[in-house]
Structure 1
């Protein structure tokens, strides 16, 4: 949208569909304003070329709560985890209601005690954690203590506890396994033979769920395809 005259507060208000008083409160911090409304004013100010748009954006950012998220991923050569870290950072950067920063750490030593040490260090430094890990009593006990201390924990990609103690972000791994069975049943013309399975680890609950889903689909729809014992890759 183009304006012939220099945009004013009234111009911003008209573009945002808000009152002049509301825009004035956002611009001059005269009274608290809903974060969504403040963001609406900022977007309108940028759209009409209002000279104080940058100032509005700065003040909105200053008023937002600030949180630091700790993200623990697997340290592998796979591009997937680098892409995941980038996507999380992008989402945090563009979050509209809070100033979010992410501290990434990577699991290279997969012994439970080493993972516990990494989780504990992140918990001290961050407001909340997102963790990719396998299930183990030491790790589960550590996460339980951290949650009790008031630090939220989210499991990424794979559940960490058999009873799903943490909120989970990822695919339904049982359905993923059944989908792989569906694909195999349609690409193996003879529908007879052995199916090799590679896992990242026997303790990853997400991997177990995928194997169970694969077995259940093949047993039901392609019993001639026999899954072999999984191997660690």
Structure 2
């Protein structure tokens, strides 16, 4: 009688519904693996009587201790950044392979000096730091200084030119801008002015979104409808004021594209303006305010960062940079969600 075949790693992979490389990572600790995946591999190994089950069990209980991840986000009062912070904390706490703590700092004064100083401070006392940063020599200098300290630095949502940046994690801003333009070109009146707002031209992500937006209208021969871009400092009150001025000056205002923040101010201005004008509005980020505005018809469409997937990607790359168990992706872009009132998530 033939001897029973000994289960292999390939058998474990098949039963667990994962790739052979994932089983290898669990066995050898070659890269971070999510807790749910490790649990599936362990259960498959137990079911099959896999010979390396004791090692897998040790991997399940083993953790890289005292990992310190730092984050420099912006505008503490902005619900979007609060959502990001919550997702990052939740994602880190779910990780089987590491233990430690997150330090999340918000910067409300978006000056190059204060931002660069805060990035340097947080990066010096953590193992890796991720930041939402503007393009400025003082910020570049801070990141390059951390690189000399052999610290990993990731830019989030908006890239910068510092040679010391380990990687970028966010959206393809050109696609975001062109998608906003495509939606407006199809949904706004055929005539009338189109306004574009950015938080600051020093955010490379917003600058690229604006370029993509304008290039779309240039290509279809409709660039003459575009007004000069307005800076709203990502501040709701400034955004409210400039939107009110737009509505006052342009009775034929057909659409508004907001490539940055300040969306709450735009919504408030349109909602309360005496003219009752309802231009097509495309903005970023699904928050309580934009959700209500979608339902009420104030906002037409929201282009959304998938916050949970974003947090997962950020934690993945930061842990990889610390452990060195796999190469870090220098440019990790995520698909974005296009949300209308009809497909609002629950």
Superposition TM-score, scaled by structure 2 size: 0.50
Q: Cα deviation per residue 1:146-173 (whole Å; 9 max; x = unaligned)?
A: 0121100010010122779441111001
Deviation at 1:225, TM superposition (A): 2.9
Partner of residue 109, structure 2: 109
- 5 Å-filtered alignment, 1:1-233, equals 34-35=28-29, 39-40=38-39, 44=43, 60-61=60-61, 63-161=63-161, 165-190=165-190, 192-221=191-220, 223=222, 225-232=225-232, 233=239
> Structure 1 pair 101/213, CA: closer, same or farther in 2 (3 Å)?
same
> Structure 1 pair 164/147, CA: closer, same or farther in 2 (3 Å)?
closer
Structure with max Cα Rg: 1
Aligned residues of 2:153 and 2:164 also touching (Cα < 8 A): no
The whole-number CA distance in structure 1 between the counterparts of 2:159 and 2:195 is 24
> Structure 1 pair 57/106, CA: closer, same or farther in 2 (3 Å)?
farther
Alignment: residue pair count: 195
The whole-number CA distance in structure 2 between the counterparts of 1:102 and 1:222 is 49
The whole-number CA distance in structure 1 between the counterparts of 2:162 and 2:63 is 40
The whole-number CA distance in structure 1 between the counterparts of 2:146 and 2:184 is 42
Aligned residues of 1:178 and 1:217 also touching (Cα < 8 A): yes
> Structure 1 pair 41/87, CA: closer, same or farther in 2 (3 Å)?
closer
Q: Cα deviation per residue 1:17-59 (whole Å; 9 max; x = unaligned)?
A: 87xxxxxxxxxxxxxx6346994489649x99xxxxxxx9898
> Structure 1 pair 185/162, CA: closer, same or farther in 2 (3 Å)?
farther
The whole-number CA distance in structure 2 between the counterparts of 1:199 and 1:217 is 17
Which runs of 5 or more residues in structure 2 are unaligned?
1-10, 13-26, 48-55, 233-238, 240-346
Q: Cα deviation per residue 1:50-107 (whole Å; 9 max; x = unaligned)?
A: xxxxxx9898455434411100000242211111111111221122322252110011
Which runs of 5 or more residues in structure 1 are unaligned?
1-16, 19-32, 49-55
Aligned residues of 1:70 and 1:102 also touching (Cα < 8 A): yes
Question: More deviation in 111-120 or 139-148?
Answer: 111-120
> Structure 1 pair 165/71, CA: closer, same or farther in 2 (3 Å)?
closer
> Structure 1 pair 198/141, CA: closer, same or farther in 2 (3 Å)?
same
Q: Secondary structure at the match of 1:85?
A: helix
CA RMSD of aligned residues (A): 3.2
